[in-house]
Chains A and B, each alone.
Chain A
Amino acid sequence: MKIKEGFEIQNVCGEHIIVPTGAENVDYSKIISLNETAAYLWENIVPKESFTIDDMTQLLLAEYEVEEDIAREDCTSIVECWKEMELIEE
């Protein structure tokens, strides 16, 4: 899977938000806020042509002290959530 084009991560008022950003328009009416960890994952998977839950789990393990199982569970649930918000394509 991969992150769809047309989204930009911004830091507004100390919050990480994803904003639908076209070449001309920025739409702040449909922003998605991310916590530190989610923002870290987002920033690292956006440049990838494609990524898997495994890739995300490895990213978490590299940065945080966390059990692999828990990391994988969290990654799965955030991917579900991003899919629901139509941020991810297969």
Chain B
Amino acid sequence: MIEQVLHTLPQVLIDGLALGAVYAIVALGYTMVYGILELINFAHGEIFMTGAFVGTAILLTFSGLGWITSMPAIITLVLVLIVTSVLTGLLGMGIERVAYRPLRNAPKLITLITAIGISFLLQDLVRFITELKNGNYILTGPNLFNKQIGIEASSILSVFNDASVKSSFFIVLGVAIVMMITLDFFVNRTKWGMAMRAVAQDRETAALMTVNVNKVIALTFFIGSALGGATGVLFAVQYGTIDPYIGFILGLKAFTAAVLGGIGNIRGAMFGGILIGLLEMFAAANLPIVSHGVLGAEYKDVFAFAILIIVLIFKPEGLFGKVTVEKV
């Protein structure tokens, strides 16, 4: 039994990492907004989805103009990532300005419902535009990184089977890591990051210390949404096909990851995302083997969420959450 699990382990780890990296960056958006406003921004999954659509639309325009073949794929990707993240960042800021700021002093539940409303609005808006342009709301983008790379895991340890990786995996993982490190640096080492942490700790006191609270909150939404949108592009590159409903399930899991890592904690969100991705992939590949066929792969989510419940029973503040320390 263990041998069977080991056979597929390298491949499972690779696939789990790719999925986990996506969860991790989306989880960052949840955790940042929660840390600063104590608002669960349910529209974040939809911002991720909008990012995927904007990115694919840009890629399709590029390929229509014939630029994709003439430019190295990596430059195209970086270009698309920057444009998309600026656009979704502005979208996130706009949502905060229009929908959340007027309700900042309203009961928490009201803002939460507004967030759910925004997410429906974005879903149907994107579906409407896509149907108008494409005639069908399922969109398939051009393939940028399609090379298959074989990893001879069997040469490391003979029980391993060889694994194969799409080249997009490295791109996704690489970009995700760069984004996470930059964010971590920004929050912990810069003036604006310090302002963000200050607002997260105590909004009124921060305002007294001449921190412009509105600006800081807007910036938080910009960064969170920009990261979400960029992840949407990575998702579209990795999986090829997108529809307006991808944000829902993924957003839910990313939110879970944020809770698992300790909501409000940036490193916790990264770790939680990767952990959920790995657990899910591991469960999908190995549950039938481990349970002797009693539980099928369809129970992977049950497995991942059971782990979440167990963690929360023993550590209600999440893996990395500390009860009083910094939240951003």
Q: Do A and B bind each other?
A: no
Query: Which residues of A are at the interface with B, using a C-beta cutoff of 8 A?
Result: none
Query: Which residues of B are at the interface with A, using a C-beta cutoff of 8 A?
Result: none
